[in-house]
Structure 1
Amino acid sequence: MGRIDVFVAPRPNPALIKAMTVVNRIVMLHGVPGFRDLLPFNRLAGLRGVSNVRHIDFPAADQRRLKACCGAGQATFIAPNHPEFFTDWMIDKEIVSRVSPLAASWATHGVVNGLGRLMQKFWLANNLIAQIPGNSEAAKAHSVDWALQGHGVLLHPEGGVGWHGNYVGPLLPGAVEMGLEALKRGRETNKDFRAWVVPVVWKLAFTGNIERALAKECAYVERSLKIDSSVASSLPERVYRIYSILLSRDEQACGLTAEEGAPYAVRQKRMLAELGHRLAEGIAADAGLDLGEMLRRSRRWLREASAGAEEPKRVRKLAETIQRIQRVGPWAFANQAITQEEIAEHLKRIRNDYCKGTLRDTFNRFIPQPAGPRRAHIRVPEPLGLNAYDGSVDEALAVLRSRMQDAVTRIVTEIEAAGGFISYPNPFYHR
């Protein structure tokens, strides 16, 4: 295996972590006062704030709730939602700096191990745990050991970024499973030992009208994907049209004829059904399985397949296409209105999934730049005390997801009531 696929235990450096907390707060989040709103300095990400999060709304009661679950005599797994890439770690770092400064954080192996030895050393000193796809046992074992020392361990139970800030996706079991293992080990020496999975949610909202900046980013996407932008339409309709054309290209590649005038949701469902049928044939699975299970079986099938064979390449491409098309989920069609925040998420998702081949596109995938200044609203729903829980892992995930979604919905409702969203008719809306 290459270095990128080998787990190396973090070596946290408290002094570096403390210094990077200050750097994160100024350079990555808030920006430098006096420069962040002044041309031409506000065009420099480090002076403006790379993630352009000007304000953090993190009530003291929520901070106390999280902090009470951290410390000696308990193991804590902090489980935030995952609406945005790069900003995720910046906000997560700000959160843990307030409640458990030496908390470890899970991150993709491509970041921790894939940027060279010096960067690997830097990330390990910042207490990042490399998540190795298909080989995460060493990372889990280290996480349990670290949690047993009274430090938090943070990981995103949604897995990959979905770019949907109003919706919490299905959760993965890692945090609950590690919490149960930590509880078992902790109780061997301390009958009063406790273990927690603490859900955390954050929602980003623009501080003003950024339609001009969104239109500029939309125009870049249209040029990059060779989509005619001369058709006059509103900003949401332009985004819808981009997705519709991209789906048409997938339909053509699949040999399907696009249904004239059919809603995007209807075409997407038809396309996914066809791709699922072909994937089932490729891995000799039951075509009646839901796509989530089909994708899980395809990943297992690919791990066992012979390297270099043609059929695995076809199966991999089918699975990747399904995942890409699925990323516009039912949440996109549910509401009659669409906010500027949701338009921004659509554009970032398109750029991540479809715009490739240039240095600008590569940079955007690693450090996506927001269209304008934002406020982060952070809440801590009721923690799940595993020491007082006797349900299954799946039931625990359902409880956590429900608490997270309720908290996100409350944030959205509060912002909406205060007039904090700028909205348009949603062209994706479908009954």
Structure 2
Amino acid sequence: MSKIDVFVAPRPNPVLIRAMTSVNRIVMLRGIPGFRDILPFNRLAGLRGVANVRHIDLPDADLERLRASCGAGKATFITPNHPEFFTDWMIDKEIVSQVSPLTASWATNGVVNGLGGMMQKFWLANNLIAQIPGNSGAAKEHSVAWALKGHGVLLHPEGGVGWHADVVAPLLPGAVEMGLEALRRGRATDPHFKVWIAPVIWKLAFTGNVEAALAKECAYVEKSLKIERQATDTLPQRIHHVYSTLLTRDEAACGVRSDEGATHAERRKALVTELGRRLGESISADTASTDTAELLRRARRWQRENTGDAEGQKHVRALADTIQRLQRVGSWASANPRITQEEIAEHLKRIRNDYCRGGLRDTINRFIPQPAGPRCAHIRVPEALGLHEYAGSIDDAVAELHRRMQQTTTGTVAEVEAQGSFIFYPNPFYRH
């Protein structure tokens, strides 16, 4: 087994964690006042703030609500939304430093185990838990044991980053499942033991007009993907044209005829349906009674059970990967007649992550994506879900957690909009 797929328990170092909290606050988030706005210093990510989050908007009431769910005598699983890569851990670390500094955080095994022995030791000392795809038992066991000690465990219930901050994706049940196991063990010695699932959401908003920087990044994407710019297109129209061209290429690669009269959403849905049919045939699954999420789960299981079929593995993996990539632009993209600069930025990062894979610049961007300008992180804390007083099923608990997160996200976006913090454009994805 590759070292990247071997779970090694974290060995948290409190001194290092405290030191990295300050480094994170200054170097990764806010930057250094006096340097972050002056050329040439503001071109250096460490002086400007790598994630360029200048302001943290976290009301005292929300912070106290999260604190009340954490601490000794209870087990707490903190579940933030997951709108952006790299910035996720920086903001999450800032939050937990104020409520439960020794919180253990789940991260992909590619980060914890895949960057060499020295970096593995560093991440384990920072209390990161490596998620091993298809083999998460050891990580879950460690998480439950750590939570029972009164320390938080943080994991993103959406799974991977979707780059859509206004919409909470369907949630995975891991946090609830671990919470129920912690409740069972805790109640074995204390009949009043409590377990909390504590959701957190954050929404990033630019502090000014960043259209020039977004247009520059869009030009890079167009050049990298060899997509000709339409001279009269607005910035959102250029994004739409990039996606339309990429979809046409995907259709051609799959031998599917493109319906030029259909909307982007209709074409994407038709292609996903056809690829799903082919995937179902490849793994002997009935697609008529299986939704796409379940089909992808069966495809992963098929791959685990058929490791000796090299050609089949390659074919199934290619179909599943294409379906997942196409689904990353969901119905939310065409839901509203207006689009914000923040949503344009998300589209660009998603395109670069999914399609731009030519060189070092794109590799660095996938790990440390750079924002188009300074931002404010609006952080809110929905009401925690107490599993010790919840009588519903796991699915019910996950659905309730999603409802609270989406309701708070929608309310926060409306609050920021009312403050005049967004710049809007007509949305070319929108169709009546």
Q: Considering the TM-score relative to the shorter chain, is it more than 0.5?
A: yes
Partner of 1:232: 232
Deviation of residue 341 (structure 1)? 0.2
**TM-score, normalised with respect to structure 1:** 0.99
Q: Whole-Å Cα distance in 2 between the matches of residues 381 and 98 of structure 1?
A: 17
Q: Whole-Å Cα distance in 1 between the matches of residues 307 and 55 of structure 2?
A: 51
**Structure 1: segments with no counterpart, 5+ residues:** none
Partner of 2:160: 160
Equivalent residues in 2 for 1:278-357 (5 A)?
Answer: 278-288=278-288, 289-307=290-308, 309-357=310-358
Q: Secondary structure at the match of 1:372?
A: coil
Partner of 1:149: 149
Q: Whole-Å Cα distance in 2 between the matches of residues 224 and 130 of structure 1?
A: 33
Paired residues of 2:230 and 2:238 also in contact (CA < 8 A): no
Equivalent pairs counted in the alignment come to 431
Partner of 1:421: 422
Partner of 1:362: 363
1:386 aligns with 2:392: no
Partner of 2:11: 11
Deviation of residue 70 (structure 1)? 0.8
Partner of 2:268: 268
Which consecutive segments of 4 or more residues in structure 1 shift more than 6 A? none
Q: Secondary structure at the match of 1:99?
A: coil
Q: Whole-Å Cα distance in 2 between the matches of residues 309 and 195 of structure 1?
A: 45
Deviation of residue 261 (structure 1)? 3.2
AA of the residue aligned to 1:29: L
Q: Secondary structure at the match of 1:38?
A: coil
Paired residues of 1:265 and 1:430 also in contact (CA < 8 A): no
1:210 aligns with 2:216: no
Partner of 1:181: 181
Equivalent residues in 2 for 1:72-83 (5 A)?
Answer: 72-83=72-83
**Structure 2: segments with no counterpart, 5+ residues:** none
AA of the residue aligned to 2:73: G
Deviation of residue 208 (structure 1)? 0.5
Q: Whole-Å Cα distance in 2 between the matches of residues 205 and 179 of structure 1?
A: 33
Partner of 2:84: 84
Higher deviation after alignment, 74-83 or 228-237: 228-237
Q: Whole-Å Cα distance in 2 between the matches of residues 14 and 394 of structure 1?
A: 36
Q: Whole-Å Cα distance in 2 between the matches of residues 280 and 258 of structure 1?
A: 22
Deviation of residue 308 (structure 1)? 5.1
Q: Whole-Å Cα distance in 2 between the matches of residues 277 and 185 of structure 1?
A: 44
Q: Whole-Å Cα distance in 2 between the matches of residues 306 and 382 of structure 1?
A: 44
Paired residues of 1:335 and 1:429 also in contact (CA < 8 A): yes
**Residue-by-residue CA offset, 1:60-104 (whole Å, 9 max, x unaligned):** 111111111111110000000000000000000000000000000
Q: Whole-Å Cα distance in 1 between the matches of residues 210 and 366 of structure 2?
A: 21
Identity, in percent, stands at: 72
Q: Secondary structure at the match of 1:17?
A: helix
Q: Secondary structure at the match of 1:98?
A: coil
**Residue-by-residue CA offset, 1:378-427 (whole Å, 9 max, x unaligned):** 01101000000111010001100000000010111011111110010000
Q: Whole-Å Cα distance in 2 between the matches of residues 244 and 374 of structure 1?
A: 29
Paired residues of 2:4 and 2:109 also in contact (CA < 8 A): yes
**Residue-by-residue CA offset, 1:141-172 (whole Å, 9 max, x unaligned):** 00000000000000000000000000000000
Q: Whole-Å Cα distance in 1 between the matches of residues 181 and 114 of structure 2?
A: 29
Deviation of residue 230 (structure 1)? 4.6
Q: Whole-Å Cα distance in 2 between the matches of residues 306 and 129 of structure 1?
A: 27
Q: Secondary structure at the match of 1:188?
A: helix
Q: Whole-Å Cα distance in 2 between the matches of residues 307 and 206 of structure 1?
A: 50
Partner of 2:45: 45
1:108 aligns with 2:84: no
Partner of 1:376: 377
Q: Whole-Å Cα distance in 1 between the matches of residues 274 and 108 of structure 2?
A: 31
Q: Whole-Å Cα distance in 2 between the matches of residues 72 and 39 of structure 1?
A: 48
Partner of 2:121: 121
AA of the residue aligned to 1:71: G
Deviation of residue 258 (structure 1)? 1.3
Q: Secondary structure at the match of 2:135?
A: coil
Q: Whole-Å Cα distance in 2 between the matches of residues 353 and 315 of structure 1?
A: 18
Q: Whole-Å Cα distance in 2 between the matches of residues 6 and 430 of structure 1?
A: 48
AA of the residue aligned to 1:111: V
**TM-score, normalised with respect to structure 2:** 0.99
